[in-house]
Structure 1
């Protein structure tokens, strides 16, 4: 095999690093898009720092069951924006924070995914793949209001790695923290403790995502192969982390008691506070994992063992459409409204965002596949359209209108209904109605034939409305005379 066609050992490493760059690109793109906002002068803001502040806030505030509130994230970004540009007002800082948050959620796209292309060499062939990811996701909170959750990719960007084993990285983070504390380098240990906290959040999100499939469809997961294995591995990992972090915390407490320097107790107290957050999150995750078996059985009972509801199906065409078409609009509307209310199941309203709604309404429908067998192309024959009214009827109506002057529509209709004339009165009514909207000019006799409405009600057994008055008026100097 030649060198050109031999699979590279670094192919997987290249793909991982490309993904890491792709995850960072939406954050870096904020700084590139900033000058394009011509109506706003935001040149002094460092958008990457504000974006990382937003992701960091969501990461630390979300837990296993709930996410971060929008207003909390906006408030945190505003505090950093005020430090960057203290001369600007609160309204501008708020606009910047909301723009940052919308950009990280990727508001304005259909699926709100960011995407990037990368390649892998398989059997000597370079194959392109699409890497789709989210940074911040909007979900529905327990109270029905929107919440924010940081994705694994966003948390990985905070700690500087993508596509790695999270549990192994968490072990490494705790080991690094323990080594720094043991050597007394508390300033460096503070940064390591923050990274360990983020790894704790990332691991909890990883476990929550893996177990989410059970809630959607319990038949898609296997208890022995999927759920119980995840539960066992995660509980063992959490127990190790709790023991390791408890040891680090005890070492910091002893360091605080034995230190004579003023800075060391304060630094140790900050580290202890971070470790206590890690321990609380581990305890919460441990409690949720211990309830996985009970939740799995409850989901089985809810999804599988509950018999399907018995219902009778409705033939929409024969039982609904045909009878409704025979009713008037006033009679049909309450019936249709009642059917729609009964046929539509109740559900909790989803979070609706105006930009997505407008985009969906303005998107053109997909073109139908011309090869779809369900679509039958109509075949038109060569038959000509038969006229509704005959030439004799047109002649009779024109004869009546030629003699009309100051006569009402009711009188014309009676004259048109002579024996043997079928539908001539309909043609006459149409012609008079046309004269009401567009008078007819006779250039030869310099007259205008028009129909006027004077609020006289038409008394007729077929037609209803105004009894129009057909008048003929002369044209004087190019203008119509008064009727």
Structure 2
């Protein structure tokens, strides 16, 4: 194996060292129980959050926003921690990723050709997150090394990886492998976000220091490759969208859901490619503006003064009187002079000045489409429709919960997840038992739809008859309208709601 290939693999392995140092060294010195928290996972989620925002319209994220995001994740990792150190966990994670603004360094050991020679070393310097001065508030930016961690620590060309993922996605869609195509679509979308974040970092670095970016060869080649890549991917995205829409029309229930997920991911990829195209178009104006501001700007008087030769060395060589005179002249030339006293005209102008009115911009809300992988909420449509049909039977006559479970089993062919339908039936019946039901019965102004409309006005009563079979244990329930149950004499009440045997509640 060639040394250069091994060196690249060694670099990728070194990128994870700060994450393990956070868990092994920094966490052990903290004032909270670090065993409760997966700090490496929190660090990776922090990088994902910054990269996803960096590829969006906002471009960056503030440290306070990242700390609030990580604190929420830490609370979900250990919600029963009595000390509640979630904000402290988030700040420790961010501090280790920033490393006090200093680059992280690792040493690569060179192999000597013989025993008589000395082995050399090579220093590898990198950063994961950088703190930028953006005026009123600091901003966080992810480097190329952080993007590689965002892409599962693979040292590959981002454009090539996305092109390969899109080709695989198209082949899977044409072959009808829709579930595998969904995973490939997510991988392609994340790669596109990584490419957009990498190019934005190049432009931000150009605005800060033009000399730190290679505009003679590296960046122009990257822009040409990115432009060609975006053109090809937009055409391929349209073809994949046609295949996904065709799968939605012709596929079964599970296949339609997978095709809808592919459709959503490809549309998000189109949005990322559109923003990437805007970055490419605006790259040359950014370069020209940085060149004008950093190279062609007129020199100020302070740039003509060498603090070492013109100020410090004469001050050390001169006596006290001459040093005081030199310091006074230097401050008088370069520093602004304030008037010694307030004149009457100046004081009157300040006191009688009309108040300034500042226009306050409307608050900008985050677009859920720009966040990384938003969580899906609510029941699937097929499960909700089947559960609604089951509980509508209770509106004509009371039914036992065991009977409702049998009716739900008759809808097994109509839903993708039979176990979820069984859980919804049992939990909805238990909810009617706890709530008591009877509210809003026959209310013509009710706006409930779906399962909520089927459950409206229903109540549940318990007796000492146990549930038989199935995954649930407890007493059977009688579900029906409150008015229908009132005329029946209950033989007894059972304690406790129904609980799933050996499974967690959804």
Q: Pick the TM interval, shorter chain.
A: 0.5 to 0.7
Structure-2 separation of matches of 1:15 and 1:130? 12
For the 8 Å contact 1:211–1:227, the answer to whether it is kept is no
- Secondary structure of the 1:129 match is strand
Q: What does residue 160 of structure 1 align with?
A: 152
Which residue of 96, 112, 119 corresponds with 2:102? Answer: 112
Kindly report which structure 2 residues correspond to 1:192-231, keeping only aligned pairs within 5 A, or say none.
192-211=184-203, 214-215=206-207, 225=217, 228-231=220-223
Instruction: Give CA-to-partner distance per residue, 1:222-261, whole Å, 9 cap, x none.
Output: 8774554433222111111222233223322222233330
Post-superposition offset of 1:162:
4.6
Say which one has the larger Rg. Answer: 1
The corresponding residue for 1:36 is 28
Counterpart position of 1:293? 284
* Among candidates 240, 243, 254, match of residue 232 of structure 2: 240
- Please say which of residues 12-21 and 59-68 is displaced more in the overlay: 59-68
Which residue does the alignment assign to 1:82? Answer: 75
What secondary structure, in the 3-state scheme, does the structure 2 residue paired with 1:118 have?
strand
Partner of 2:85, secondary structure, is helix
Partners of 2:129 and 2:210 in 1: how far apart?
A: 27
The aligned residue for residue 161 of structure 2 is: 169
2:273 maps to what in 1? 282
Where does residue 85 of structure 2 map in the other structure? 92
In structure 1, what is the Cα distance between the partners aligned to 2:190 and 2:47?
A: 11
Asked whether the equivalents of residues 59 and 198 of structure 1 are also in contact (C-alpha less than 8 Å), the reply is: no
What displacement does 1:159 show? 2.0
Alpha carbons 1:44, 1:84 under 8 Å: kept: yes
CA contact (8 A) 2:54 2:197 kept: no
Shift of 1:60: 0.7
Partner of 2:336: 342
So what's the TM-score if we normalise by structure 1?
0.57
Of 15-24 and 264-273, the range deviating more from structure 2: 264-273
1:270 has 2:261 as partner: yes
| Separation in structure 1 between the aligned mates of residue 206 and residue 232 of structure 2, nearest angstrom | 26
Paired residues of 1:66 and 1:147 also in contact (CA < 8 A): no
Question: Which among 41, 48, 54 is matched to residue 56 of structure 1?
Answer: 48
Partner of 1:342: helix, strand, or coil? coil
CA-to-partner distance for each residue in 1:263-285, whole Å, 9 max, x for gaps? 44444333333322322222112
Using a 3 Å threshold, how does the CA distance of structure 1 residues 298 and 258 change in structure 2: closer, same or farther?
same
Q: Distance in 2 between matches of 1:311 and 1:76?
A: 43
Contact 1:169 1:199 (C-alpha < 8 Å) held by counterparts: yes
Other structure's SS at 2:105 match: strand
Cα displacement string for residues 148-174 of structure 1 (whole angstroms, at most 9, x for unaligned residues): 122221221232345432221222222
Task: Determine the C-alpha separation between the residues in 1 that align with 2:147 and 2:295.
Answer: 36
- Structure 1 residues 193 and 137: CA distance shift in structure 2, 3 A: farther
Assess if the C-alpha contact under 8 Å between 2:172 and 2:178 holds in 1.
yes
1:139 aligns with 2:117: no
CA distance in 2, matches of 1:309, 1:210: 28
Cα RMSD (Å) of the superposition? 3.9
The structural deviation recorded for 1:114 is 1.9
Distance change (3 Å), C-alpha of 1:229 and 1:155: closer
Separation (CA, whole Å) in 2 of partners of 1:286 and 1:197 = 15
Contact 1:15 1:120 in 2 (8 A): no
User: What's the CA shift string for 1:182-231, capped at 9, x where partnerless?
Assistant: 44444444443333233222222333344556545668878774554433
Mean CA deviation greater in 63-72 or 168-177: 63-72
What SS does the corresponding residue of 2:16 show, helix, strand or coil? helix
How many angstroms apart in 1 are the aligned matches of 2:96 and 2:292? Answer: 41
Question: Any conservation in 2 of the 1:16–1:162 contact (CA below 8 Å)?
Answer: no
Count of matched residue positions in the alignment of Structure 1 and Structure 2: 325
Are 1:214 and 1:221, in contact at CA under 8 Å, matched by a contact in 2?
Answer: yes
Is this contact kept in 1: 2:202–2:213, CA < 8 A?
no
Aligned to 1:379: none
Asked whether the equivalents of residues 210 and 294 of structure 2 are also in contact (C-alpha less than 8 Å), the reply is yes
Aligned to 1:258: 250
Q: Residues 324 and 150 (structure 1 numbering): CA distance in 2 closer, same or farther, change over 3 Å?
A: closer
Residues 427-466 of structure 1 mapped to structure 2, 5 A cutoff: none
